[in-house]
Amino acid sequence: MRTLALGIGSSLRGDDAVGPLAAEALAAEGLPARAVTQLLPEHALELAEVERVLFLDASREAPPGAVTLQRVGPVEPRPRVSHRLDPRSLLALCVALHGRAPEGLVLALGAAQLEPGAGLSGPVATAWEAYLARARALLAGAPADGDPAAEGTAAEGARPG
Amino acid sequence: MRRIVIDPVTRIEGHARITLQLGEDGRVASARFHVEQFRAFERIAVGRPFHEMPALMARTCGICPVSHLVAAAKAGDAILAVEVPEAAVRLRRILHLAQIVQSHALSFFYLAAPDLLLGMDADPARRHVLALAEAEPELVRRGIGLRAFGQEVIARLAGRRIHPSWVVPGGVSSPMSAETRDFVRSGIPAALASVEATLDAFKRSLSRHTEEIQAFANFPSLFVGLVAEDGGLEHYDGRLRVVDAAGRIAHDGLDPTRYAEFLAEREEPDSYLKSPYWKALGPERGLYRVGPLARLNLVDRCGTPRADRELAEYRALQRGAQLSSFYYHYARLVEMLFCLERMDELAADPRSLDTRVLAHAGPNRLEGIGVAEAPRGTLIHHFRIDANGLVTGVNLVIATGHNSLALHEGVLQTAKRFVDGERLQEGMLNRVEAVVRAFDPCLSCATHAVGEMPLDVTLLSPTGEPLHRLRRPA
């Protein structure tokens, strides 16, 4: 399975650095991952080449240090969009341009602090290795279904209407 | 009288609000374009070493960081009082042209094309790049490809797509590899084909926009920008030229580092966007425009074959200067052709691979001014330092700022033409937003605002009570 991880976030805002730092760590291991500040239409070109995309991100909804996995599908956003996209709208753009989108998974790590200049919080640092291990497994093609963290969130993903 | 507020303005860079005041007849009587965010880069820089300025100033903007990088480095060159090696100038030019390609691609394909190709009155919920991709996938593929190409050239030359720091006072920090040269050259043919196909589609669409062409900030004004020594299109260096509404040269060969002699700035009571004007004519008559529309009005020629062919066709649309700001879109496409052709010329020259790319010196002057043509127009960075090389004063004159007075006038003209307060429809207000988008304002740059630029339009009653507000999230 061809896979790609996009680590989303700002390295300057505390736990928001989770995505880019994880992407850089995985890329250093030779895995297909890279850090991005935000998702852009250009990324649809890369998504066309893979069967699974893993969005690595910090989460304000999850408890600090909790690892969550959410399946996302191509859904056109309700509000107007400009050049910055969320995972669902990026997948929808991929469908519009290429007729298909890869399987989309958001692997998130619950954030405790997102202030500019802050480092990684204690809960995030504690969960770091487990988070990376999950990312490695998913990049290697491990099934997302059946993953306890994905339960209850795997039904999303209607095609844009 | 009533008032309409559009808040926020969407599909632009930064955050703005528009207030339309209606008269007793329900027609627009006055309009204001407010920019409400503030960043104060001029203050942040004070006390920092001058050689940090290019990397720090690149943080002003995520769309045109290279222009800030280049203008700040040129100001640093002036402080060092050195001659920048020829190869470094060539590499700076390639980098800057690549950025104009990606910035113009973003403006045209992501922000403006939904209006132009899906229609000004299309369902606002589906008037965006995603819906455009469903309707015109090939066009969006071209746009994405152009932006990606420009970004990748920047990444390969300067190490990163956004906020690179490769351009430094005295030159650039490393030479161009043959591999990067080959990457640049190999991508040019497809990029040129994409722009030419888009130009063909855009020109075919013009007949659907005759009303917008007539009413989108279409008025006499001066046009200001840098021009090459031979009168050609120039984005990195050159002298200032000014043409009037008839296309006649009013001033030529002006030294851009003496900008303070020609330009003055007016502060607005309801906006953080300053309003420069041509000093000799005063704030009421000194309105001028900068950017792609102005640049094509200023030059004798572009200076590359394909762009010159398109320029000839573009100029056949009207005698004298092209006055409608709707044509900013057209001018952007012509400029993209020029940028790609010039990038190829520069990359093909073996001198661009010279490894001598940096002149070393300490500060030899206490003041430096750097000027470049950013995607949106003339960009001026002015630094003063103390004897230790620490910055004591900064003045940034930003492209969007130059266009501030024209934006006010353009919003009023468009609102008067399209907005009927008695029978208000979303498409009317979208046209008011669309005239703003034609200028491609970057308020993050111009006010030194955080984030994207949504639009907020408010309609006020004759007595000033808000009657209608169109507000959208960023």
Query: CA geometry: angle at B86 spanning B83 and B91, to 5°?
Result: 115
What mean pLDDT do residues B258-282 have?
Answer: 88
Strands of the B222-227 sheet, one edge to the other: B249-254, B239-243, B222-227, B288-289
Could you tell me which of B405, B363, B401, B352 has the C-alpha nearest to residue B385?
A: B363
Q: Does domain A3-143 have CATH number 3.40.50.1450?
A: yes
Provide residues of A within 8 Å CB-CB of chain B: 37, 41-42, 44-45, 76-84, 89, 92-93, 96-97, 160
> To the nearest whole angstrom, how far is the Cα of A147 from the nearest Cα of chain B?
31
Is 60 exceeded by the pLDDT of residue A154? no
Res B470: pLDDT? 64
Q: In what order do the strands lie in the sheet with A3-8?
A: A33-36, A3-8, A52-59, A103-110, A67-72
Task: List the single residue in B with minimal CA-CA distance to A79.
Answer: B125
Residue B91 CA to residue B345 CA, distance in Å, equals 12
N residues, chain B = 474
List the single residue in B110, B131, B473 with the smallest CB-CB distance to A41.
Answer: B110
Pick B148's closest partner by Cβ from A45, A83, A84. Answer: A45
Q: How far is CA A54 from CA A147, B240, B386, in A?
A: 15, 50, 50
Sequence-distant (≥ 6) Cβ neighbours of residue B195 within 8 angstroms: B146, B333, B336, B337, B340
Write the residue in B141, B145, B472 that is nearest to A80 by C-beta. B472
Q: How confident is the model at residue B125 (pLDDT cuts 50, 70, 90)?
A: confident
- The pLDDT score that the predictor gives to residue B450 is 31
Q: Are A8 and A16 in contact (CB under 8 A)?
A: no
Mutation to test the B interface, candidates A6, A37, A40, A42, most B Cβ within 10 Å: A42
Reported as a single tens digit per residue, the pLDDT across B308-329 is: 999 999 999 988 899 999 999 9
State whether A82 and B145 contact (CB < 8 Å). Answer: no
Selected for mutation to probe chain A from B130, B146, B430, B457 (highest A CB count within 10 Å) is B130
Residue B375 gets the label, from left (phi > 0), alpha (psi -120 to 50) or beta, of alpha
Whether B128 and A81 lie within 8 Å, measured CB to CB: yes
Q: What is the pLDDT of residue A155?
A: 30
B455-466 as b/e: b if 16+ CB within 10 A: bbbbbbbeeeee
pLDDT confidence tier of residue B398, bands split at 50, 70 and 90: confident
Is the pLDDT score of B138 beyond 80? yes
Of B125, B130, B143, the CB nearest to A96: B130
CA angle A87, A92, A93 (to 5 degrees): 100
pLDDT in tens, A1-34: 999 999 999 888 899 999 999 999 999 999 999 9
- Tell me the chain A residues in contact with residue B145 when contact means C-beta distances shorter than 8 Å: 45
With CA atoms as reference, report the closest residue to B121 among B239, B223, B208, B42.
B208
Question: Tokens for A90?
Answer: 């990026």
**What pLDDT is recorded for position B462?**
66
> Is residue A22 within 8 Å of A131, Cβ to Cβ?
yes
Domains of chain B with CATH codes: 2-211+348-471 (1.10.645.10)
pLDDT-based confidence at B452, cuts 50/70/90? very low
Residue B63: its pLDDT value, please? 77
Q: What is the DSSP letter of A150?
A: G
The answer to whether B17 and B456 are in contact (CB under 8 A) is yes
In this structure, what are the phi and psi dihedrals at residue B299, rounded to the nearest 5 degrees?
Answer: -80, 155
DSSP element (H, E) containing B372: strand B367-374
Given this model, what pLDDT does residue B166 score?
93
Chain A closest CA to B175's CA: distance in Å? Answer: 25
- Are the Cβ atoms of A96 and B134 closer than 8 angstroms? yes
Query: Which helix (DSSP H) or strand (DSSP E) does residue B30 occupy?
Result: strand B28-35
| Among candidates B111, B126, B141 on the partner chain, residue whose Cβ is nearest the Cβ of A97 | B141
Question: From CA A104, how far away is CA A97, in angstroms rounded?
Answer: 16
Whole-number Å distance between alpha carbons of B204 and B206: 6
Say whether B137 and A42 touch across the interface (CB within 8 A).
no
Give the minimum alpha-carbon distance from B129 to chain A in angstroms, rounded to a whole number: 7
Structure tokens of B69?
């990088």
Chain B residues in contact with A86 (beta carbon < 8 A): none
Six-digit token string for B68: 């800030």
Which member of B130, B143, B151 has the closest CB to residue A76?
B130
Tens-place pLDDT, residues B150-204 = 999 999 999 877 777 899 999 999 999 999 999 999 999 999 999 999 999 999 9
ipTM over 0.90: no
SS3 at position B474: coil
| Chain A contact set for B141 (CB, 8 A) | 97
> Which residues of chain A neighbour B111 with C-beta distances below 8 Å?
82-83
- State the angle between helix axes of B426-439 and B328-348 in degrees (0 to 180), rounded to the nearest 10: 30
**Element spanning A145, H or E:** none
Alpha-carbon gap, residue B168 to B200, rounded angstroms: 39
Q: Are A127 and A112 in contact (CB under 8 A)?
A: no
Which residue ranges make up each domain of chain A?
Answer: 3-143
Mean pLDDT (chain B) is 89
Distance CA B96, CA B235 (A): 8
B27-80 tens-digit pLDDT: 888 888 877 666 677 888 899 999 999 998 888 777 788 999 999 999 999 999
pLDDT tens-digit readout, A73-130 = 998 765 555 556 899 999 999 999 999 999 999 999 999 999 887 789 999 999 999 9
Comparing CA positions, the residue from B28, B402, B418, B401 lying closest to residue B216 is: B418
Contact A82 B130 (CB under 8 A): no
How many beta-carbon contacts under 8 Å exist across A and B?
66
CB atoms within 10 A of CB B121: 14
Q: How many CB atoms lie within 10 A of CB B173?
A: 15
- Is-cis flag, bond preceding B8, omega within 30? yes
According to the model, what pLDDT value does residue A152 have?
A: 37
Q: How far away is chain B from the Cα of A3, in angstroms, using its nearest Cα?
A: 20
Coil, strand or helix at B22? strand
- Dihedrals φ, ψ of B223, to 5°? -130, 135
Mutual orientation of helices B86-105 and B328-348 as an angle, nearest 10°?
A: 150
Residue B40 phi, psi dihedral angles, 5° rounding: 65, 50
Task: Please give the backbone phi and psi of residue B85, each rounded to the nearest 5 degrees, phi first.
Answer: -55, 145
